[in-house]
A and B are shown apart, each in its own frame.
Chain A
């Protein structure tokens, strides 16, 4: 088996720490032999004992510490053990790290990266399964980037840590760690044709039939990407309908251009996300499309999202709560079948 998302991230951290003394890693339970809850930091403390700091259970505290380090010449990478715990550091991120550069008249930079393993489908229950980044989208000054298997996650992390001087949430996905990296070769990933935008945090657009054949645009990021691709495949096999999947990595600031480019062909938009829909990523994408590409739409945009309840522990309940392939397929069918519908949340 080739590289996984996990091994790509782990190798990237090893490479960066080896190349750049300013990189320092902080978080809970990072030291070997444990090497972090999801093993992303495995081996680092053995190789770089001075620069891997295992912390007390103090998310606000160590995010603040890393912020101070970032303002004084280091390139800290913080691991929040479960992304859910980032709420403890919300004040640090929103009232401190995200504000400093602008509030201080551009006198400082805060090159801080906070890694957040998000997502459910592993049976961890209400407080260890969430996808919470929607609460941090739209915070002025705070970048939100989400990993997906179509772009080398380690390269993305390296860009965030070494090239980006802005405070940044790096959204990982627990279920994705074991998945193989499926970066494109010559514009293809297996049977998928893909194109990707330029820039540090590219958007990948993938479809089975190439751009001109697509009839619907499905936007997905992070942990929803592979589910969205499976839904697109099902639509092709079961219905002979081509769906183009647009996969952004930068959630904030969000560039809607690749979505509009796809919509220019398809006119139909479905956005899926693992969090609940209200005031979320899908709402933002939909609003941006209405703002900048309303004329492209031939059907009402649709959102596929989690039910607005905490995420249950029992596997059948968790499955019913989180958006799945069948929910996406249902939304795509609706989008392709009708026109002029009001915006609805399809949750299966």
Chain B
């Protein structure tokens, strides 16, 4: 896994061979297989703790993040693997982190929900990341850089008050921030009907923030949809909220899915992977799948071979 210089997701996406459709499929396939592999290894006892997979929502990451440049900031949440893999293309580092290894993204300290790499951050506290991401976007502008900040939140996170403090300030201070709401219809085990009143988009509009929504699990559609929105946030230097109505096809974390079976089964028709695969010729798709498989194998094998951090790595957080 040779280190190569990070030039940003958009640059890498453009530099990668293949059609847009093939590249989006390859990315989503990598995310899907990574998380399936994680869940399988949980069952085998190779991982501790918990994880939140984004199976069914891969098109969001691919649709948004491929438009971002090197200096742009991404702040993600507990369900961050898809965002991170679309951002970094580094399944090895993520696997090592989730498996608690010393050479993981953050030395085994953060695990699945708390990662940092280049300009990508995630944290496991709902809502609290939103003002932080806003501050990052404002700093980009204050420091005279052209970066924007993208923060991912879910329908459930819209219950946190600090989100609205951030929306208010983002509008007041005209911050270059894109708020992406992934509405997967369920906040853990609670359906959106029981946790959210009114309309999601109206919440941003109430603060004078341009907002829109798209109901799609189609990576190509989302990729086309978000290109102009990312440009607009960058060009106009003002915030936008975009809601993606999607669906989580897996459990919230692990073996905790109590949703109606029929509903989940019906939603499988919208699985973004078969949707995208159907657009490719079979040979290209099979080649991509084979390559992804080899990468996943290598990533997890490498991660497994990495050492666990020892107690000597517990540094004082206040050391200067």
Contacts and interface: CB of A to CB of B under 8 A. Distances in A.
Interface of A: 24, 53, 55-56, 58, 60-74, 76, 91-92, 95-96, 98-108, 140-141, 143, 164-166, 252-253
Contact of B135 (A65, A103, A166): A65
B54 interface: no
Contacts of B117: 107
B128 A62 contact: no
A104 B122 CA distance: 9
Interface string B110-139: 100011110001010100111111111111
Interface string B154-180: 000000011001101100110000000
Chain B, interface size category, equals: 35 or more
Contacts of B162: 58, 60-61, 64, 91-92
Given A65-B135, A105-B109, A96 B125 contact: yes
Nearest to A163: B320
A62 B169 contact: yes
A100 B115 CA distance: 10
Given A68-B139, A103-B110, A103-B114, A166 B320 contact: yes
B134 to A, nearest CB: 5
A164 B320 CA distance: 8
Interface of B: 73, 105-107, 109-110, 114-117, 121, 123, 125, 128-140, 142-143, 149, 161-162, 165-166, 168-169, 172-173, 315, 317-318, 320
Contacts of A56: 165, 168-169, 172
B110 A74 contact: no
B111 to A, nearest CB: 10
Given A96-B125, A104-B114, A106-B315, A68 B142 contact: no
Given A101-B317, A103-B109, A91 B125 contact: yes
A72 B128 contact: no
A60 B165 contact: yes
Contacts of B142: 24, 69, 74
Contact of A58 (B123, B129, B169, B315): B169
Contacts of A100: 116
Given A56-B169, A105-B107, A166 B318 contact: yes
B317 A102 contact: yes
Per CB-CB distance, the 7 closest pairs between chain A and chain B, nearest first, are A68-B135, A64-B131, A61-B165, A105-B106, A104-B116, A72-B139, A58-B165
Given A56-B169, A60-B162, A74-B143, A253 B318 contact: yes
B138 A65 contact: yes
Contacts of A252: 318
A338 to B, nearest CB: 38
Nearest to A140: B317
Contact of A67 (B105, B115, B132, B169): B132
A92 B128 contact: yes
Nearest to B130: A64
13 contacts: A56-B169, A58-B169, A61-B169, A64-B128, A65-B135, A91-B128, A92-B128, A95-B128, A96-B125, A101-B317, A102-B317, A106-B107, A108-B116
Contact of B169 (A55, A92, A98, A253): A55
A111 to B, nearest CB: 11
Given A60-B162, A105-B107, A67 B320 contact: no
A65 B169 contact: yes
Contacts, number: 136
Contact of A103 (B106, B138, B320): B106
Contacts of B165: 56, 58, 60-62
Contact of A73 (B134, B143, B149): B143
Given A58-B169, A72-B140, 15 more contacts: A56-B168, A58-B165, A62-B131, A62-B169, A66-B135, A68-B132, A68-B135, A69-B136, A71-B135, A91-B162, A99-B114, A105-B107, A105-B116, A107-B106, A140-B317
A96 B132 contact: yes
Contacts of B131: 60-65, 67-68, 92
B116 A107 contact: yes
Residue from B133, B134, B138 with most neighbouring chain A CB atoms (10 Å)? B138
A253 B129 CA distance: 26
Contacts of A69: 135-136, 138-139, 142
Contacts of B315: 102, 106
Contacts of A165: 320
B297 to A, nearest CB: 26
B168 A61 contact: yes
Contacts of A63: 131
B143 to A, nearest CB: 5
B116 A95 contact: no
Contacts of B161: 60
